[in-house]
Structure 1
Amino acid sequence: MDEVFPLEETALFSESFCEETLFQYCGRQLRITQNYGARLGVAAPVWEAALALCYYFEEQGLDFHGKKVIELGAGTGIVGILAILLGGNVTITDLPKALKQIRENVAANVPLGSPIKPQVCALSWGVDQEEFPRDYDFILGADIVYLQETYPALLRTFQHLCGPCATIYLSAKMRRGHGTVDFFEQLLPLHFKVTLVYRKEEEDINIYKVTLRVNG
């Protein structure tokens, strides 16, 4: 499925069905529902790059307490939900069609009495990123670098959201034919410091730590 990512979503997910899966990271159990079908398309599944990023949080012992976090292109919301459970003040974003699935997964995993109130919002890259603040501590994205025509808008979104103290973590399947490698090796370094911090060789997944490049 990974190698045909950019195909028409109606062809990719023509059969509609719902699947609930349990995941365990950082001592937390995550109950994630995936609503497969043409409406959500590639936003429906939990992709391996998202699981790799969750594993990385666990391996590094990342703590989001007191931190302001935003996830881009969240799909199921699994990465942002884990950040919530790790104490983050999290905003989870995607296109409007994915928000219902994200909200349902947040409700299934974040206790009603939780003092942290996560936000689920629509964010279209390159269009409405300026409606969001620039004071995030962490910006997260899993498998959001796969369509070359979206790269300029994604870069503009990063440039707006990423302040001098922010850290971006991006987990990506390295789809060479889709310009993913060029994005991380050529486009992103024009504006940011990009460091490969983790690689899952068998699945060709990289995780990058990205910070604002400071001139001089």
Structure 2
Amino acid sequence: MEQTELELEDKSVLELGAGTGLVSIVASLLGAKVTTTDCGETLPCARGNVPRNTELRAKHAPVVRRLEWGSADLEDFGPKQYDYIMGSDIIYKEETFADLYKTIMHLAGTETVLYLAGRIRFSVDEDFLATLKQDFYLSCVYEDTVREVYIYRGEKLRNS
């Protein structure tokens, strides 16, 4: 986040598929108002890890919530209220792509900036990025070709 010079202080950040919540922890410690999301068996990990690593050090206490992509859970999240939507290593399971896309489209406003980081393992992963490009100006802002790790930045196209 610091390498791309993001100013997160007092910005609203939503992390999708948080797992251990590392992105949320860093964003929170940089002053963001963070909502950490995940579902299933990884949610308890985020619920323990995020507060434990930000308590008394973050300007805003992060909130950890359940969010299953594409589900009725979306109705509990006001659309288009986040400055940033972030996800780390969430593009890996083809059967989740439609729901992930639906979730991003529901939550992203015209001013929301999307950051997706991780490995692009298969051509279907590239297909998902191509689908996002129909509604977002998407560019690779970091690339580690040795480890095959990429960070993409997206801004919603005005007609989407």
Q: Same fold (TM over 0.5)?
A: yes
Secondary structure of 1:163's counterpart equals coil
Q: Name stretches of at least 5 consecutive residues in structure 1 with no aligned partner.
A: 1-56
Match of 2:97 among 128, 140, 151: 151
Match of 1:166 among 112, 120, 124: 112
Q: After TM superposition, give the deviation of residue 214 of structure 1 in Å.
A: 1.4
TM-score, L = length of structure 1? 0.69
Match of 2:146 among 202, 211, 214: 202
Q: What are the Cα deviations for residues 48-100 of structure 1, in whole angstroms up to 9, with x where unaligned?
A: xxxxxxxxx12123221110010000000001110000000000000142222
Q: Aligned runs of 1:78-97 on 2, under 5 Å?
A: 78-97=22-41
Match of 2:83 among 137, 142, 158: 137
Partner of 1:63: 7
> Which residue type is aligned with residue 122 of structure 1?
R
Q: What are the Cα deviations for residues 132-157 of structure 1, in whole angstroms up to 9, with x where unaligned?
A: 12210000001101111111111110
Partner of 1:183: 128
8 Å contact from structure 1 (residues 198, 206) kept in 2: yes
Secondary structure of 2:133's counterpart equals helix
Kindly, what percent of the aligned residue pairs are identical?
A: 39
Q: 1:212 to 1:104 in 2, by over 3 A?
A: same
Task: Identify which of structures 1 and 2 has the higher relative contact order when contacts are C-alpha pairs closer than 8 Å and 6+ apart.
Answer: 2
> Which residue type is aligned with residue 91 of structure 2?
V
Q: 1:96 to 1:112 in 2, by over 3 A?
A: farther
Q: 1:143 to 1:113 in 2, by over 3 A?
A: closer
What is the aligned-residue RMSD (CA, Å)?
Answer: 1.6
Greater helix share, structure number: 1
Radius of gyration: which is bigger?
A: 1
- The whole-number CA distance in structure 2 between the counterparts of 1:196 and 1:113 is 31
- The whole-number CA distance in structure 1 between the counterparts of 2:59 and 2:120 is 38
TM-score, L = length of structure 2? 0.92
Q: After TM superposition, give the deviation of residue 172 of structure 1 in Å.
A: 2.0
8 Å contact from structure 1 (residues 130, 160) kept in 2: no
Q: Name stretches of at least 5 consecutive residues in structure 2 with no aligned partner.
A: none
